Amino acid sequence: MPDDRFPVEVVEGVPVMAAPEEIDITNAEALRTALLKVAANGHRTLVVDMTRTRFCDASGLHALAATQERTQADGRELLLVIPGTAVLRVFALTGMDRMIPNFTSLAEALACADRRDGQPGPACEPITHPGQAQTTGGAAPAPC
């Protein structure tokens, strides 16, 4: 039975989970469980739309990191939509913005997922938000 707190809608063939307004210790484990269920349903890409999210603590970051590790191990990818600068700042300060590809809009994430769906190779290049440091060194991911 799906968790109503984390609605999922398939958009252009890609499951998109709407994250709650706050992700913290009270709901992070349930979010992780819901994400892993959706990720196990055979889609190559899963998008987490954090448009409504205004707060994400360490337990939320851990839930997303665990989902990222699992999806990568299964040959899939996790993409985040983070238009809000407050949440993005937490991701940037912890380095999570470099671990999980993130985009400023659902349209950008879906365009990337559509381009990459079913094609082998590196994950899409995330969008660099204003004020977000770009990583240096190493090979750059393929652009969308």
Q: Where are the domains of the chain?
A: 8-116
Say if domain 8-116 classifies as CATH 3.30.750.24. Answer: yes
CA angle, residues 97, 101, 102, in degrees to nearest 5? 75
Secondary structure of the chain: what % helix, strand, coil (to 5)? 35, 15, 45
> How do 8-11 and 14-18 pair as beta strands?
antiparallel
For residue 123, pLDDT over 80 is answered with no
Q: For residue range 10-65, what is the model confidence (pLDDT) as tens digits?
A: 999 999 999 999 999 999 999 999 999 998 888 899 999 999 999 999 999 999 99
Q: In terms of Cα–Cα distance, which of 105, 7, 90 is closest to 55?
A: 90
Q: For residue range 71-110, what is the model confidence (pLDDT) as tens digits?
A: 999 999 999 999 999 999 999 999 999 999 999 999 999 9
